[in-house]
Amino acid sequence: MPLRVYLKLIVLTIFIFSAFGAVYLFAPTVSQKEGVVYYLRPGLSKRSVITALYQMGVIKHPVFFSIYAFFTPQSKIKAGEYVFVHGRNFVGIWHQITTGTGFYYHPFTLVPGWTYKQFDTALHNDPWLKKKTESLAPLNSSHEGMLFPDTYFFTRGEYDTDILKHAAKLMQKKLMDAYNKRNDNLPYQTPYETLIVASMIEKEAYLDVERPMIASVIINRLKKGIPLQIDATIIYALGDQYNGTIYKKDLQIVSPYNTYLNKGLPPTPIAFPSLASINAACHPAVSDYYYYVAKRDGSHQFSKTLEEHEKAISEIKLRALENSK
């Protein structure tokens, strides 16, 4: 067979092989509508990654991809947890894992009303976060209330302290934005005092619409020098001793958080307040109320005098008794 024919056959073979390779390289390989999540562990070789993707069913005919990887030696794979979206082809997948893009993000939700202890426990139990310390609990007193409740997204392998830093930075921004627009003549003078008030509103309010009214009761009592008598501060002072009920003896607990015995604000926030509670602390309703009591539906009955308050308590107890029959 003439040399020219051999050359033509070689060229044709290369062309056919390249055509088939191009089809496999650029054809969509991820068929799952929700995409595919793949964790590329540190230290894996290109061959190991291709084998793993083949075993997962993400790619077919790994030989073509091995050749593609061989001819892209300058691109180094980067460890991380990736999400390959529906319809992604191998070239797109390879671009992701060699540029470190398209990571899968896990959510972590910091719930409004949580204490720092609850936040610390949730961080510690999250399986995807790296633990920089065994527990962040010793930071309790300095961080109580100082983190903004929100859902934070992180990639696998990030540290728990990264969540803390993001949440602290966001709280500082949200708090200062609200504080700089606060009403005049409020009986607290610093953003931190505002945060303390907001934390009590967060724990006391069930309905958003009542947050400014609860704030007004706190404001009125602070201005008059009347103890706040906030049950949530007693619960905070009791800590793990709280069993769901506040007893008369609990109102005598010796603690700076006992707002039945101590006038003014507790020394720190008692929870992480939502933006709604921060805004209520900065823009309380104008009222003559000094008391409130919770109803069975979570709303509150507000009163101007102790006599009205005691009457409201009696009526609520009576209705509860009648409904239980």
pLDDT of residue 7: 45
pLDDT at 1 over 80: no
Which pTM value belongs to this model?
0.84
Whole-number percent of the chain with pLDDT over 70: 86
Spatial contact of 218 and 250, defined as CB atoms under 8 Å apart: no
- Please state which CATH class domain 3-99 belongs to: alpha beta
What's the whole-number average pLDDT of the chain? 86
What is the C-alpha to C-alpha distance for residues 55 and 238, in angstroms, rounded to an integer?
Answer: 55
User: Taking the mean position of all CA atoms in its chain, how far away is CA 178?
Assistant: 20
At residue 8 the predicted structure's pLDDT band, cuts being 50, 70 and 90, is very low
pLDDT of residue 10: 46
pLDDT at 138 over 60: no
What is the C-alpha to C-alpha distance for residues 197 and 108, in angstroms, rounded to an integer?
Answer: 26
pLDDT of residue 322: 67
Phi/psi-derived region of residue 26, left when phi > 0, alpha when psi is between -120 and 50, beta in every other case: alpha
Higher pLDDT, 1 or 179: 179
Mean pLDDT, residues 199-216 taken together: 96
At residue 324 the predicted structure's pLDDT band, cuts being 50, 70 and 90, is low
Higher pLDDT, 196 or 134: 196
Whole-number percent of the chain with pLDDT over 90: 60
Mean pLDDT, residues 57-86 taken together: 82
For residue 211, give both structure tokens: 């947050």
Mean pLDDT, residues 178-184 taken together: 95
Residues 6 or more apart whose Cβ sits within 8 Å of residue 124:
131, 135, 136, 160
Domain ranges in the chain? 3-99, 106-172, 187-324
